Amino acid sequence: MSRISTRFEQLRAAHRTALIPFITAGDPRPETTVELMHAMVAAGADLIELGVPFSDPIADGPVIQRATERALARGVSLSDVLEMVRQFRERDADTPVVAMGYLNPIEVMGYGRFARAAAAAGLDGALIVDVPPEEGHELVQVLRTESVDLVYLLAPTSTERRISRIGEVASGFVYYVSVKGVTGAANLDVDEVAAKVETIRARIPLPVGVGFGIKDGETAARVAAVADAVIVGSAIVKQIEALAETPEAIAPTIGDFIAELRGAIDAADAAANRPEQVTS
């Protein structure tokens, strides 16, 4: 069983919702990333999504675009990101790591080489934003061979047929984009999200994470009530940006924020698991 599946099994058994923070690898500096990953795990992150910098991030809003530009200014490449994962694994054998990025750096590295390097580094999954199932046959094959999960996005506009199609190729978990828009977009409607998550669950036997538009403990708690995982990106990256000139403050500050999100999600999970008579 993959590290991702194992982690979700453990969480399910404990009636807990996963917290998945996203950071861009190498932002604001390559040397801050691994330490920050450990700090996030210590503060309650269950899985880490690591953004691979790309020059043309069409699915990302301004906050993550700027993070990408900071990392690229330091020359952070896909190989560097895999090296960060390898270093992270030296001290953490359990927390799954998923790389999130765009196809071109992988295309240039070569699918086979990427899959082998990813597996060797201890990467557990890849979410390649601009590869829909129709274009991913070869990539799916090589990643399966190396036991690297391929995580897919689902959108509010995804039809039921589309959801089933993605269910055929997805592994690990699926990532539901809660709003029409780019990362860091505005308000999400939890009722709409809940309905769509049910539609997805009926068609895909994998945990469903929800992201885009989760800003604080309150939104995290509301999403936790309907999803298997809460994914938080821009709200974290914005704080990293504010501390770009004082990198030593990043790990403790983000750690505190993760702890706050964790607390809110745990409270929501506890409320959901409380016996009938207490809630009524």
Partner 1 sequence: MATDADSTRPLSQRAASQGHYDLPDADGHFGPYGGTFVPETLVYALDELREAYERFREDPEFLAELDADLRDYVGRPSALYHAKRWSRELGGAQIYLKREDLNHTGAHKVNNTIGQALLARRMGKTRIIAETGAGQHGVATATVAARLGLECVVYMGEVDVARQEANVYRMRLLGAEVVPVKSGSRTLKDAMNEAMRDWVTNIDNTFYIIGTVAGPHPYPAMVRDFQTVIGREARAQMLERTGRLPDALVACVGGGSNAIGLFHPFLGDTSVAIYGVEAGGEGIATGRHAAPLCAGTPGVLHGNRTYLMEDADGQIIETHSISAGLDYPGVGPEHAWLKDCGRVSYDAVTDAEVIDAFHHLTRTEGIIPALESSHALAYVQKIAPGMRADQSILVNLSGRGDKDMHTVAKLDGLTL
List residues near partner 1 by CB under 8 A. Answer: 53-62, 65-66, 69, 72, 77-79, 102-109, 129-132, 134-135, 152-155, 157-159, 162, 166, 177, 180-182, 185
Nearer to partner 1, 163 or 264 (CB): 163
Nearer to partner 1, 41 or 121 (CB): 121
Nearest to 254 by CA among 10, 11, 28, 73: 28
Q: Which two tokens stand for residue 219?
A: 């939104």
Nearer to partner 1, 78 or 232 (CB): 78
Asked if residue 101 lies in contact with residue 54, where contact means CB atoms within 8 angstroms, the answer is yes
- Separation CA 17–CA 7 (nearest Å): 11
> What is the smallest separation between the CB atom of 54 and partner 1, expressed in angstroms?
7
Q: Which residues contact 13 (CB under 8 A, 6 or more apart)?
A: none
Catalytic residues: 49, 60
Beta bridge partners, 51, equal 24, 100
Whole-angstrom CA distances from 216 to 12, 109, 197, 204, 230 are: 23, 37, 21, 28, 11
- Separation CA 278–CA 272 (nearest Å): 10
Nearer to partner 1, 46 or 149 (CB): 149
> What is the smallest separation between the CB atom of 280 and partner 1, expressed in angstroms?
39
> What is the smallest separation between the CB atom of 47 and partner 1, expressed in angstroms?
20
- Separation CA 121–CA 115 (nearest Å): 10
> What is the smallest separation between the CB atom of 118 and partner 1, expressed in angstroms?
15
